[in-house]
């Protein structure tokens, strides 16, 4: 339509000011995020030290019992784990941080010699892909239901849906996981009983493999979706109701704006609070991942964490944990930064915290 | 004065004013005719009227002021002129005829939407938040144009610019701004500009100066006066501040508990108010140069929907002149020249 | 002249006072009726009371070591065992009742700790936004952002917080972020309403204002959030036992689930269904009840949500 790119409007008064502001905020958030990661990494370092049975010592003792001299054993262990077990604490710590900055998470104990980063990197995609699809589906379904219950909020159906959403939102993830597992693999054996892909298929981009991945992923993704849909639905509903009651919507209608335009006004304004829970939902997804992967025997980060506890493979536990934390903090920073981009009111407030 | 007007004056009280009346300035044909309008809201005690059997004329080219306390129904009345009574309220009787539009209450959907903004401009009571906070003003002007099928959007922006400039603002800057970057007075002026940018000839301003400081109030009122004159508008101003109305309006209508208790040319009504409520309002106003003790507030509180007396005159509980007759039936409208009022006692005095 | 249709100001003082009292009582009755109006809410309250009693009194009704019965493994529900038996032949109902104490006790401890830390932090942040506000909120955001479960799992490797008090403590310390945020938001909105400024203007000391003015106003809101937090706590502790990272001395619902799903394979066969489902259903009931009740509290104190029924 002619008007789309039509008359030239003057550039926003805020001009480049807010972009400079944004850059400044980006720097500040990055620093905060790095500090948080550092705090967590340090805490984990001390935790690992506290963990029963210092793994390095175990391996060292093992080596020595196989006939190595103490020095040889020490250097072999150092080569494996990246540090010498009996070094003074400060040195160990420095070494640890240095390794982290090089993305070296150490070496696994259970799978002797394999770098933790490899193990974690091969498990991560399985968690991330499932969680991402879960977030997408729960978002889509949740927002639609939320809008519906907001528009028709005087009906009993809307009341019922809202209550249902609130209840599902309050259910523990493992409850959903166990029930889904039980109903759809045991009672009605529709889906495979766990695992991420059938061992009978050859890995690669062939239909069988991909198909098997998909069938194995459906139930876990359904779990993620159900776990998250309630929050989206309830937040969307309250946000839409609140915006519908805003003065400018009535003003828009009284000025004769097209219903479609008014709907767009409502949508963009109602979306704002949803953004804040986007960051939180990622964190919750990781928490749920532990249960879902446990019940469905899915080889992701969650299962990695649990199995590494059983095998006392603490470097792996450490590595998986750090990866999860970094991902969550990064997502939070991104969300914080993106907010001024979508809400112009925040741009002017220089130095305002969330 | 025409013979018709003479005849109208000497006849006994009628509920409808004569269609063509001599008034102070212009040709006097009514641009808006409200007849016997009733708007009711459902309550636990049954449907109650927020506006009850109101008949009012807005004379073309004049500023009419509607005065009343909060809860008097004036905003509901204003919204009815746009057929925009909010759910669950409903128009249960009456008509609203606007020149060039017809019976507004019969319009729905697209035809109603066309009228809003293009034929009738409405300036919000809470102009502080009447804009989309996420879009610059200019873009919203364009949205307005597109919704009304305006072909020449550049022309529309030019018109908006000239309106804003006229009101003493930096038009370029304002069009590029978001709502939160504008002060209260500026937002009010933008609201007025948006109501006029599509060349509406009927403009309704609901409490245009509430929530503004005194200086800004004065400048906004001046702008309203100027714009009204320049564009030959028919304007309705709603306010609880009788000072604002007295300053600006050619005609004044006083509302109480959903009924119009008095209306007429402003100077006349303010000089010789007939209805006890109007008198009370005027006595309650402190004069800027005078003893504040002279101002006497009206006793009691304005009624809400549920505390309006069911029988008799609605003002009776607070009226110093109430008689037994006032409790029997609602007083009919009496006419004295250009002034109308609904009061048994005042009717008796006037004859 | 009927009094009901005339504005109350027209009444003489004594009648006015009585009229006000009457209307206050009517309002209170109407509110109470609203609260118990839905059968759902009555049911919810009953359920909560029931489980609380179960947790307190229940374990006294059973011997310390529950009997096992190798002849009746995965028994179906019967008169002797209304909920069937587990993989050792122990009565499921007995397991449920004895396990409830841990679950509810730990949740209660966590609730108290979260309430304490969260409320104080939120009040301080809301009342002194410039001094303490953003610092406290940074910490709260940090606590809130970090995914709770992975943290607790890692923590469990060095400290077996199996006792209900320890479990409650850990959950409370990591869970106060949400309440702090909510309390701070409410305190700040009270600021907006001039409440606090008015009290300050009267010369009241800060602490008095916080505890005598602000707190009573936000108390229902805190109550609501607390109920929802308790559901999260139950969820968390049962979950930790379920995945088996915390060692246990006494059985509880999480342990039941763990044994059922991972050790006894109850999730892959149709036997022992009641064994698998019992703890789940209990959690489900408690969750639904708490969510319903918190909604009722919300409606009670937030008249906008009420509708003309």
Is the model's pLDDT at B253 over the cut of 80?
yes
**Nearest alpha-carbon partner for B144 in B194, B105, B69:** B194
pLDDT of B346 reads: 79
What value does the mean pLDDT take over residues C174-185? 85
Q: Give, rounded to a whole angstrom, the gap between the first and last alpha carbons of chain B.
A: 21
Which one of C153, C235, C261 has the shortest CB-CB distance to A172?
C235
Nearest residue to B300 via CA among B323, B286, B282, B316:
B316
The pLDDT score that the predictor gives to residue C184 is 85
ipTM of the complex: 0.80
**Boundaries of every domain in chain C:** 82-304
Residue of chain C whose alpha carbon sits nearest to that of B318: C10
CA distance A168 to chain C (A): 9
Residue B280 has pLDDT above 60, yes or no: yes
CB B44 to CB C5 under 8 A? Answer: no
φ/ψ of residue A34, rounded to 5: -65, -40
Q: Which class for C69: exposed (0-12), middle (13-18), buried (19 or more C-beta within 10 A)?
A: middle
Of A166, A169, A321, the CB nearest to C150: A321
Q: Is C173 on the interface with A (CB under 8 A)?
A: no
Which of B130, B153, B194, B199 would you mutate first to test chain A, the one with the most A CBs within 10 A?
Answer: B130
CB contact (8 A) between residue A170 and residue C149:
no
B332 secondary structure, DSSP code:
P
Q: What is the model's pLDDT at position A79? A: 54
Strand B251-256 versus strand B63-67 pairing type? parallel
- With a cut of 60, say whether residue B163 has pLDDT above it: yes
Phi/psi of residue A346, each to 5°?
-75, -25
Residue B27 has pLDDT above 60, yes or no: no
Q: Tell me which chain C residues have a C-beta less than 8 angstroms from the C-beta of A175.
A: 280, 283-284
Give pLDDT < 70 ranges for chain A.
Answer: 1-16, 18, 48-87, 105-107, 109-113, 198-202, 348-354
In contact, A317 and A308? CB cutoff 8 Å: yes
Q: Report the candidate in B21, B113, B16 with the shortest Cα–Cα distance to residue B62.
A: B21
Lowest mean pLDDT among A50-59, A195-204, B268-277, B310-319: A50-59
Put simply, whether B300 touches C (Cβ < 8 Å) is yes
| Residue B293 CA from chain centroid, whole number | 31
Query: Average per-residue pLDDT in chain B?
Result: 82
A256: nearest CB among B136, B148, B177: B148
CB neighbour list of residue C260: distance below 8 Å, 6 or more residues apart = C86, C87, C266, C267, C272, C275, C276, C279
* 8 Å CB contact between B262 and B277: yes
Contacts of B172 (CB under 8 A, 6+ apart): A10, B161
Name every chain C residue with its beta carbon within 8 A of the beta carbon of B318. 7
Exposure string of B89-114, with b = 16+ CB inside 10 Å and e = fewer, is: bebeebbbbbbebeebbebeeeebbb
Query: What does each C-alpha distance from A334 to A19, A327, A338, A339, C257 come to in angstroms?
Result: 16, 11, 6, 9, 38
Banded model confidence at residue C304, pLDDT cuts 50, 70, 90:
low
Which pLDDT band holds residue C34 (cuts at 50, 70, 90)?
A: low
**Res A4: pLDDT:** 43
Return all residues near B345 (Cβ < 8 A) that are at least 6 apart: B276, B321, B322, B323, B326
Which pLDDT value is given to residue A73? 59
Above 50 in pLDDT, residue B7? no
Which of A1-15, B91-105, B185-199 has the lowest average pLDDT? Answer: A1-15
Contact state of A291 with C244 under an 8 Å Cβ cutoff: no
pLDDT at C21: 72
**B189: closest CA among B269, B104, B130?**
B130
Chain C residue at shortest CA distance from A316: C154
* Cα–Cα distance, A48 to A55 (Å, whole number): 9
Mutation choice for A interface testing from B42, B143, B192 by most A CBs within 10 A: B143
Whether residues B122 and A6 touch (CB distance < 8 A) is answered with no
User: Does B7 or B343 have the greater pLDDT score?
Assistant: B343
CA-based nearest residue in chain B for residue A254: B116
- For chain C, positions 181-200, list CB contacts with chain A under 8 A: none
Least CB–CB distance from C154: residue in A44, A172, A173: A44
Q: What is the pLDDT of residue B284?
A: 79
Chain A residues in contact with C253 by the CB 8 A cut-off are none
Structure-model confidence comparison of residues C295 and B287, the more confident one: C295
CB B240 within 8 Å of CB B68? yes
CATH class of B28-119+200-265+286-311: alpha beta
* Interchain pair A325, C150: CB under 8 A: yes
C6 touches chain B (CB under 8 A): yes
The interaxial angle of helices C215-243 and C148-158, nearest 10 deg, is: 60
d(CA C150, CA C164): 20
Answer left, alpha or beta for residue B79, where phi above 0 means left and psi between -120 and 50 means alpha.
Answer: alpha
Average pLDDT, chain C: 78
Contact indicator for C187, C216 with CB cutoff of 8 Å: no
B314 vs B316: CA distance, rounded Å:
6
Q: Stretch B138-143: mean pLDDT, rounded?
A: 93
The whole-angstrom distance between A251's CA and the closest CA on chain B is 6
Q: What is the DSSP-derived secondary structure letter of residue A312? A: T
What is the helix (H) or strand (E) element at residue C301, kind and residue range? helix C273-301
CATH of segment(s) C82-304: 1.10.3720.10
Looking at residue C6, what is its pLDDT? 37
The residues, any chain, with a CB within 8 Å of residue C199's CB and separated by 6 or more, are C209, C213
Report how far residue B168's alpha carbon sits from residue C258's, in angstroms, rounded to the nearest whole number: 74
Closest by Cβ to C10, choosing from B300, B311, B327? B300
Question: How far is B59 from chain A, CA to nearest CA, in Å?
Answer: 23
Question: In chain A, what is the straight-line distance between the N-terminal and C-terminal CA atoms, in Å?
Answer: 39
Nearest to B44 among C5, C6, C308 (CB): C308
The DSSP annotation for A250-295 comes to HHHHHTT--HHHHHHHHHHHHHHHHHHHHHHHHHHHHHHHHHHHHH
Which pLDDT score is estimated for C7?
42
Q: What residues of C are in contact with residue A173 (Cβ under 8 Å)?
A: 239
Mean pLDDT of B219-240: 90
| Choice between A194 and C170, residue whose per-residue pLDDT is larger | C170
Q: Please state which of the ranges A59-73, B44-58, C284-298 shows the lowest mean pLDDT.
A: A59-73
State the Cα–Cα distance between residues C25 and B188, nearest whole angstrom: 44
| H or E stretch covering B92 | strand B90-98
Say whether A175 and C295 touch across the interface (CB within 8 A).
no
Task: Locate the domains of chain B by residue range.
Answer: 28-119+200-265+286-311
Over residues C40-72, the pLDDT tens digits come to 888 888 888 888 888 888 888 887 777 777 777
**Which pLDDT belongs to residue B350?**
62
Mean of pLDDT values over C60-88: 74
Give yes or no for residue C10 having a pLDDT over 70.
Answer: no
Alpha-carbon distance of A222 to A195, in angstroms, equals: 15
């Amino acid at each position: 339509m002619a008007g789309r790119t039509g008359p030239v409007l003057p550039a926003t008064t805020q001009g480049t000011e807010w972009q400079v502001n944004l850059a400044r905020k980006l720097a500040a958030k990055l620093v905060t995020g790095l500090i948080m990661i550092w705090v967590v990494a340090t805490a984990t370092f001390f935790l690992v030290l506290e963990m029963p049975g210092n793994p390095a010592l175990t391996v060292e003792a093992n080596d020595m019992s196989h006939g190595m001299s103490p020095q040889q054993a020490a250097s072999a262990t150092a080569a494996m784990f990246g540090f010498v077990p009996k070094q003074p604490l400060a040195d160990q710590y420095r070494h640890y941080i240095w390794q982290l900055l090089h993305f070296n998470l150490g070496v696994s104990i259970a799978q002797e010699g394999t770098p933790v980063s490899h193990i974690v990197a091969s498990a991560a995609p399985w968690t991330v892909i499932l969680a991402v699809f879960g977030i997408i589906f729960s978002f889509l379904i949740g927002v639609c239901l939320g809008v519906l219950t907001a528009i028709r909020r005087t009906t009993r159906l809307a009341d019922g849906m809202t209550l249902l959403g609130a209840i599902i939102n309050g259910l523990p993830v493992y409850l959903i996981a166990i029930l889904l597992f039980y109903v759809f693999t045991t009672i009605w054996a529709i889906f495979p009983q766990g695992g991420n892909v059938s061992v009978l298929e050859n890995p690669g981009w062939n239909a069988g493999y991909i198909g098997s991945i998909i069938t194995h992923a459906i139930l876990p993704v359904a779990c993620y979706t159900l776990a998250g849909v309630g929050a989206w639905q309830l937040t969307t509903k309250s946000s839409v109701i609140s915006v519908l009651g805003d003065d400018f919507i009535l003003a828009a209608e009284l000025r004769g704006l097209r219903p479609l335009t008014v709907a767009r006004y409502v949508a963009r304004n109602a979306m704002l609070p949803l953004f804040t829970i986007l960051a939180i939902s990622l964190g919750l997804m990781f928490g749920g991942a532990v249960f879902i992967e446990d019940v469905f025997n899915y080889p992701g980060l969650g299962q990695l964490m649990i199995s590494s506890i059983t095998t006392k493979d603490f470097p792996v536990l450490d590595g998986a944990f750090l990866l999860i934390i970094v991902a969550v903090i990064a997502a939070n920073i991104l969300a914080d930064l993106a907010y001024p981009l979508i809400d112009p009111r925040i741009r002017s407030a220089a130095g305002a915290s969330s | 004065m025409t013979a018709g007007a003479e005849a109208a004056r000497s006849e006994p009280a009628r509920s409808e004013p004569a269609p063509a009346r001599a008034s102070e300035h212009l040709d006097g044909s009514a641009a808006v005719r409200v007849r016997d309008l009733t708007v009711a809201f459902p309550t636990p005690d049954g449907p109650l009227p927020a506006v009850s059997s109101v008949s009012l004329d807005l004379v073309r080219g004049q500023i009419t002021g509607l005065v009343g306390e909060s809860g008097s129904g004036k905003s509901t009345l204003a919204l009815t002129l746009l057929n925009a009574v909010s759910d669950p309220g409903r128009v249960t009787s009456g008509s609203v005829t606007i020149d060039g539009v017809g019976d507004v209450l019969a319009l729905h959907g697209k035809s109603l939407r066309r009228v809003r903004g293009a034929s009738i401009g409405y300036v919000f009571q809470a102009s502080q938040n009447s804009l989309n906070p996420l879009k610059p003003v200019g873009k919203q002007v364009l949205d307005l144009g597109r919704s009304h099928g305006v072909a020449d959007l550049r022309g529309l922006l030019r018109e908006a610019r000239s309106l804003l400039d006229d009101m003493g603002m930096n038009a370029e800057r304002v069009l590029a701004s978001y709502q939160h970057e504008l002060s209260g007075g500026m937002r009010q002026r933008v609201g007025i500009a948006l109501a006029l940018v599509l060349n509406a000839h009927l403009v309704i301003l609901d409490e245009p100066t509430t929530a503004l400081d005194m200086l800004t109030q004065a400048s906004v009122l001046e702008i309203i006066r100027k714009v009204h004159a320049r564009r030959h508008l028919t304007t309705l101003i709603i306010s609880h501040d009788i000072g604002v109305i007295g300053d600006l309006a050619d005609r004044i209508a006083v509302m109480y508990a959903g009924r119009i208790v008095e209306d007429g040319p402003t100077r006349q009504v303010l000089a010789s108010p007939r209805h006890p409520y109007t008198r009370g309002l005027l006595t309650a106003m402190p004069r800027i140069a005078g003893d504040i003790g002279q101002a006497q507030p009206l006793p009691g509180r304005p009624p809400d929907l549920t505390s309006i007396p069911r029988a008799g005159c609605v003002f009776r509980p607070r009226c110093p002149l109430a008689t037994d007759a006032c409790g029997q039936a609602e007083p009919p409208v009496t006419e004295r020249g250009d002034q109308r009022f609904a009061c048994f006692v005042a009717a008796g005095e006037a004859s | 002249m009927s009094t009901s249709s005339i504005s109350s100001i027209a009444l003489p003082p004594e009648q006015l006072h009585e009229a006000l009292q009457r209307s206050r009582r009517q309002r209170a009755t109407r509110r109470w009726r609203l609260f118990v109006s839905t059968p759902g809410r009555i049911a919810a309250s009953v359920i909560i009371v029931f489980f609380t009693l179960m947790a307190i009194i229940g374990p006294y009704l059973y011997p310390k070591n529950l009997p096992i019965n190798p002849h009746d493994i995965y028994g179906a529900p019967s008169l002797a065992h209304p909920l069937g038996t587990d993989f050792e032949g122990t009565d499921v109902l007995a397991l449920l009742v004895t396990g409830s104490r841990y679950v509810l006790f730990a949740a209660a401890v966590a609730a108290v700790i979260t309430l304490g830390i969260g409320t104080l932090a939120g009040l301080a942040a809301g009342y002194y936004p410039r001094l303490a506000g953003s610092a406290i909120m940074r910490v709260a955001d940090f606590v809130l952002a970090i995914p709770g479960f992975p943290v607790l799992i890692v923590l469990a490797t060095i400290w077996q917080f199996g006792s209900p008090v320890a479990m409650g403590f850990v959950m409370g310390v990591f869970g106060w972020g949400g309440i702090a945020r909510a309390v701070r938001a409410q305190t700040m909105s009270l600021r907006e309403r001039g409440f606090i400024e008015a009290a300050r203007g009267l010369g009241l000391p800060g602490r008095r204002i916080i505890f005598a003015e602000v707190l009573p106003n936000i108390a229902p809101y805190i109550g609501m959030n607390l109920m929802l937090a308790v559901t999260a706590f139950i969820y968390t502790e049962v979950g930790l036992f379920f995945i088996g990272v915390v060692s246990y001395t006494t059985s509880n619902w999480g342990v039941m689930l763990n044994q059922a799903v991972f050790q006894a394979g109850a999730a892959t066969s149709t036997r022992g269904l009641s064994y698998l489902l019992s703890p789940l259903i209990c959690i489900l009931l408690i969750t639904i009840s708490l969510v319903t009740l918190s909604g009722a509290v919300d409606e009670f104190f937030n008249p906008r949500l009420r509708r003309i029924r």
